[in-house]
């Protein structure tokens, strides 16, 4: 499994602590440094079964500068949202865990981290 984190984020640190406590086998991706491509974002969205606006941190300064709150949230605007996430990775909600079974979760709670662990056990 892989976890996308921002080391400065308390939710990310909590998720990592739980993964460590459970002796999980995982890879860390510091997505602000190792920025996901648009294709990677599309793949994660498919695994999450979410739309790009569902994983966008709309309170970030970059979101306000881009005027994201006024962007349409429909199929025609989907590509524009994905491009914004790739160009401004700080807008991506965190942490995101991609589980071994092909699913993914936004793991902001202990329950979500435990669900990702359940999806990664063989």
Active site residues: 9
Cβ neighbours, 10 Å, residue 7: 11
**84 burial class (0-12, 13-18, 19+ CB within 10 angstroms)?**
buried
User: Angle at the Cα of 2 (from 9 to 73), degrees rounded to 5?
Assistant: 70
Within 13 Å of residue 84, how many CA atoms lie on the same side as its CB? 25
Task: State both tokens at 23.
Answer: 């002796």
């Amino acid at each position: 499994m892989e976890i996308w984190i921002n080391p400065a984020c308390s939710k990310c640190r909590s998720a990592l602590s739980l993964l460590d406590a459970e002796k999980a086998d995982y890879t860390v991706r510091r997505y602000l440094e190792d920025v996901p491509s648009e294709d990677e974002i599309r793949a994660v969205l498919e695994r999450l079964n979410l739309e790009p606006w569902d994983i966008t941190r709309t309170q970030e300064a970059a979101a306000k500068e881009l005027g994201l709150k006024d962007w349409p949230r429909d199929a025609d605007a989907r590509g524009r949202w994905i491009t914004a996430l790739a160009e401004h990775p700080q807008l991506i909600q965190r942490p995101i865990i991609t589980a071994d079974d092909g699913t993914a979760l936004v793991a902001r709670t202990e329950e979500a981290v435990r669900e990702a662990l359940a999806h990664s056990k063989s």
